[in-house]
Amino acid sequence: MTIFSGRRGGRRCSPVVCLLIIGGILITSKSQLSAQEDPGGKSTVEKTGTRNEEKATTESLFPPKAEPEFEFPLKAVYKDGFGLRSSDDQFQLRMRFLTQIDGKVFTPTFQEPARSGMYVPRFRTYFEGQLKDGLEYELSLQRSVEGSFDLLDANVNLGKHEWFQVRIGRSLTPYSYTWYDHLEQYYITPERGLVPLNFGLARQVGVIIHGVINKKLEYAAGPTFGHLAGLADQNSTREGVGYLNYRPFLDGPEDAFFKYLNVGGSIALGLTAYPTAPLPLRTSIQTSENDEAARAASTQFLEFNRGVVWDGGRRQGALHVANYAGPLSVEAEVFALSFQTRRDESSSAVRLPVVGFDATASLFLTGERVTGRGPVEPLAPVGRGIGAFEVFGRYSAINIGDQVFTAGLADEADWTRRVGMTDIGFNWHPNRFVKFTFDWQHAMFATPILLNQSTGRHGRSTDLFWMRCQLFF
């Protein structure tokens, strides 16, 4: 039976011949298409020339995918913060968080602007790590009681050896043991004493050479640039700072009382190159701005007259001693400062001296041992026990030169230049990450201070009942 028929040259084409012809056409077409592709399926643009020329043209238009220069598997870790590390531990990133919440009750209760209530003095996020050995970095952000969220630290640290490193950027200024040795989350009392609270250099941008020699001698020195009354790096101040801390008996037996004795000092020689208005002097908060929230969070014992500015040279020095023996911590520091100031920018300069000291002692009742101020690991955290309990006491004093009144920098009828202050309380650590502080702070003023600006009421002393809840991990 005939399935297909046709005519070619006037003759009929048999079905078998027709099928062979169609198959040949299909095979030929496929061969031609295959000739336009290389074995990897890449299209060849050039249809003439040698095979090598065609391959070269293809690779130049579609180069092979480049392998990444660095590619390491990452591992997640948790140790005092969440972290990521490369398999060889060369690349590291650690994230940490700090939250402090204060409850404050001021007495007398008629104080204004100081107001009893709840405050958030610090919320911080930390990003720390390294990029290869010898290159470390730090970035941290803070939201303080003023409500602003701003840069706290931003620096890189260079150096593979513990005895010599260089830190460049914004960081803690190495002046005063109270400021430089340990961060606020490790303090015995909620805040610093009167002198460092009001005249500390805090954080500035600079180049700091630092290190630890034989684990005993710590040093830091360098130039810094900053601002006395704000977070912004306005470069209104220039400082030359130096810090030394020596632990002479570190090689002694572990149970030796003075094994972790620290002695040393620090100095800062500075210049306020651009006139800066001073902040009020306060008893219980370290702030960087003079806004309504900062004024409400603390009693203030001296407010400078309108128009007064820091302007000119500054000299600051401090000597410290601290000892950590078993459950006992003792810290003390004396300060001597001298500031050049003016009643206004057009008046003559006035040298204003300031002296003061802090002395603090604490004891862990639950037996925890300390070698310095850092994270506390309770022997029996809540769940297995009651956590760690530490009782503390501190006396702090400040004495400002009488030039503050005789030169017209402040009003003697409303403020005082001498203050003594005690803090008595305890810290409770339910676990490594949570800390509760209960503090009774009693401030005594040499002359009555203005406690209520609306009514004009004055007083010779104030009390603050202070509770802080801290979460740091």
- Total number of domains in the chain: 2
Query: Is residue 82 in some structural domain?
Result: no
Residues 17 and 115 in one domain: no
Whether residue 162 is found in the same domain as residue 55: no
Shared domain for 100 and 36, answered yes or no, is no
Distance CA 60, CA 55 (A): 9
pLDDT at 227: 82
**Could you tell me if 402 and 461 lie in one domain?**
yes
177 with 56, same domain?
Answer: no
Query: d(Cα 210, Cα 233) in Å, to the nearest integer?
Result: 22
Q: Are residues 101 and 37 in the same domain?
A: no
**The domain spanning residue 262 has which CATH number?**
2.40.160.10
Same domain (yes/no): 373, 441 = yes
Question: Do 310 and 362 sit in the same domain of this protein?
Answer: yes
Q: List Cβ neighbours of 77 (8 Å cut-off, separation of 6 or more).
A: 83, 84, 85
Give the dihedral of Cα atoms 88, 89, 92, 94; nearest 10 deg.
Answer: 140
Q: Verify cis geometry, omega within 30 degrees of 0, for the bond prior to 108.
A: yes
> Same domain for 204 and 281?
yes
Q: In this structure, how many other beta carbons lie within 10 angstroms of the beta carbon of residue 143?
A: 17
- The answer to the question of residue 1 being in a domain is no
Structure tokens at 4: 């297909």
Q: Which residue has the tokens 């913060």?
A: 81
Residue 238 lies in a domain: yes
Residue 251: how many CB atoms within 10 A of its CB?
11
Q: Please provide the size of the chain in residues.
A: 473
In a domain, 83, yes or no: no
Is residue 178 assigned to a domain? yes
**Does residue 200 sit in the same domain as residue 283?**
yes
Main-chain dihedrals φ then ψ at residue 194, nearest 5 degrees: -65, -45
Tell me if 143 is assigned to some domain.
Answer: no
55 and 203 fall within a common domain? no
Dist CA 387 CA 86 (whole Å): 35
Could you report the average pLDDT of every consecutive run of 10 residues in the chain (473 residues)? 40 44 47 44 38 42 55 78 85 94 97 94 94 92 84 94 96 94 94 94 94 97 86 84 98 95 97 91 82 87 95 96 98 97 90 98 97 96 97 98 96 98 98 97 98 95 98 95
Position 82 scores a pLDDT of 86
Q: What's the domain range around 14?
A: 7-41+51-61
* DSSP code at position 104: E
Cα 336 from chain centre: 27
User: Does 258 map to a domain?
Assistant: yes
Please report the beta strands in 326-417, taking only residues with DSSP state E, as ranges in sequence order.
Answer: 328-342, 349-364, 388-400
31 and 115 in a common domain: no
What is the pTM assigned to this prediction? 0.82
